[in-house]
Homo-oligomer: A and B are copies of this chain.
Amino acid sequence: MNGSQAMVKTLLAGHVDVCFANPGTSEMHFVAALDQATAMRCVLGLFEGVVTGAADGYYRMTGKPAATLLHLGPGLGNGLANLHNARKARSGIVNIIGQHALDHIHNDAPLNSDVEAVARPMSHWVKTTVSAALAPMDTAEAISQACSSPGRIASLILPANCAWEDSDPGHYSTEPARAAASPLAESIEAMAKLLSDKSRAANTVLLLGGGAMMARCTWLAGQIAARTGCKIMAEPRTGRLERGLGRVNVKPIPFSVDNAVAVLKDTKDIIMVGATVPVGFFAYPGKPRLMAPPDCTIHTLATPGHDLFATLDALCQAVGASKSTPAQLSDSALVGGFEDGAPNAGNIGRVLVGAMPEHAILVDEAVTSGRQLADTIPFAPAHDCIDITGGAIGFGLPAAVGAAIAAPERRVIALVGDGSAMYTIQALWTMAREQLNVTTVIFDNRSYRILRGELANMGGPAPGVNAARMLDLDQPDLDWVSMAKGHGVPAVRVDSLSGFDQALRRANATPGPSLIALRMES
């Protein structure tokens, strides 16, 4: 048995049985080992951003890591942006990255680069295996790292000779390197005391993030809010949240600095459960960097490394809320349908909500077009939403691939801005090849709309010729129906709400992928 075979055995023993791959020559022995392992599902991406984004989407829906297979420094480089998003979502991933044979690295062949250096900025753990004998042990360690709570990006670099030389799988533990920490009784007690003061609770925000946005957690938060009168909010972007009818509607802190400051303005205490301190997504001249008022006290009840359900459950009991009906429960569907017309950010929500099947997985990279969905989407049938946590666009389509492979019985709906979709458009082909149940909606507004707003936010003048050419996606317009056809995905273009409604219902009811180009006002 060679090093690659021993590694693949270790991966399978550690329950890593999906490999998103874009291999090259230096990974051919690993490919041959995968070839013999029929229990491993191998999914090809035609670009590495698809590979890493799919592994992220997969983790978000399963809570367990997939492997990626990447080709040397440049292949890893192509995957970095979506590893960044995965890292910010606290997803676990086991990256297997090829490297030249150990006795060939110093020859500086054309594809040589410092692979560890490329991996480090977006990884929690980086290691180059130095012999075939050690390869399975290092693989087990990578799995342990990735399975930690929260998940971690583990990047294992595999020199070609370690892939082809003799090895043995051995028996190595793949138990998580770090388990979730239990909440401290003293902390629970202190926060319960704070919340027991009604007037103080009224100016307190229970801020949820990460795993605390799962329905069983938000339910507890809703109970705590109902009982104590505190507010509940969520981080602006969460790796995965469960939302919709029958669930507590925890609203995210807005993206815009002005709006975020406004919603937090009277806040005296923030109790963080799995969240991080609210900061501006970007810095702007003359605007604050921190969203909470300067005199607000921030209490970290639970870090992302804590057991967030146990924390909220303990707090719920401590404040005597276990029998309370939660606040902000989405308990009634939207009344009435929609009036037909031209689609815009304000009116598409009702169509989307009406056409969503139960237990859909919404991938949200709608950027500007999606912001106003917050008013309607909590009243959709119960669903999951996975969001672009790291802000690196090109996330949506690959994440949809991973989510669809993780949950084949559910419909994935990817809402993606046209600018964003172009970064990793190759994901469409993987959807076609794997016949994934993904409905892709492209918000076709022919511009990096967000940047037009941001240019104004920065206090700049209206864009002239050079700026407009960097902010607009026109001349020529992208032809999304042809683009999808090129990748093997059936597509339709719609420019009315009724057309959108019909297309969406048809797509959601048809097995396999399809794409809807939703023409928006530009």
Contact in complex: B74, A77 (CB < 8 Å): no
**B residues in contact with A236, CB < 8 Å:** 110
Contact in complex: B461, A32 (CB < 8 Å): yes
On whether A433 and B109 interact (CB within 8 A), knowing A32-B461, A40-B466, A483-B483, the answer reads no
**B residues in contact with A486, CB < 8 Å:** 478-486
Q: What are 25 pairs between A and B in contact, CB < 8 Å?
A: A24-B451, A25-B281, A29-B458, A31-B471, A34-B466, A34-B467, A36-B466, A47-B423, A74-B80, A78-B81, A104-B279, A109-B279, A110-B390, A111-B392, A113-B122, A117-B121, A422-B426, A429-B476, A433-B476, A479-B485, A481-B486, A482-B482, A483-B486, A483-B487, A485-B486
Q: How far, in angstroms, from A390 to B118 measured CA to CA in the complex?
A: 16
Chain A window 225-239, contacts with chain B (Cβ cutoff 8 Å), 1 for yes, 0 for no: 000000000001100
**B residues in contact with A73, CB < 8 Å:** 80, 84, 121-122
Q: How many chain A residues touch B (Cβ–Cβ < 8 Å)?
A: 105
**B residues in contact with A47, CB < 8 Å:** 394, 422-423
9 further interface pairs, Cβ-Cβ under 8 Å (given A23-B451, A25-B281, A28-B454): A24-B451, A25-B451, A28-B455, A31-B471, A37-B466, A42-B469, A78-B78, A103-B289, A483-B486
**B residues in contact with A32, CB < 8 Å:** 455, 458, 460-461, 467
Interchain nearest-CB distance for A109 vs B (Å): 5
Give the B-binding residues of A (Cβ under 8 A). Answer: 21, 23-26, 28-29, 31-32, 34-38, 40, 42, 44, 46-47, 49, 73-75, 77-78, 80-81, 84-85, 88, 100-101, 103-104, 107-111, 113-114, 117-118, 120-122, 160-161, 164, 236-237, 276-277, 279-283, 285, 289-290, 389-392, 394, 419, 422-423, 425-426, 429, 432-433, 450-451, 454-455, 457-458, 460-461, 463-467, 469-471, 473, 475-488
Contact among B110, B390, B432, B471 with A281 in the assembled complex (CB-CB below 8 Å): B110
Contact in complex: A113, B101 (CB < 8 Å): no
Contact among B164, B283, B432 with A101 in the assembled complex (CB-CB below 8 Å): B283
On whether A118 and B80 interact (CB within 8 A), knowing A390-B74, A451-B24, A488-B479, the answer reads yes
Q: How far, in angstroms, from A486 to B480 measured CA to CA in the complex?
A: 6
Contact in complex: A463, B35 (CB < 8 Å): yes
Contact in complex: A46, B422 (CB < 8 Å): yes
Nearest B residue (CB) for A82: B74
Q: How far, in angstroms, from A100 to B42 measured CA to CA in the complex?
A: 38
9 nearest interchain CB pairs? A483-B486, A77-B80, A476-B488, A74-B392, A101-B283, A74-B81, A35-B467, A104-B283, A482-B486
Contact among B36, B117, B282, B470 with A34 in the assembled complex (CB-CB below 8 Å): B470
Interchain nearest-CB distance for A39 vs B (Å): 10
Contact in complex: A84, B113 (CB < 8 Å): yes
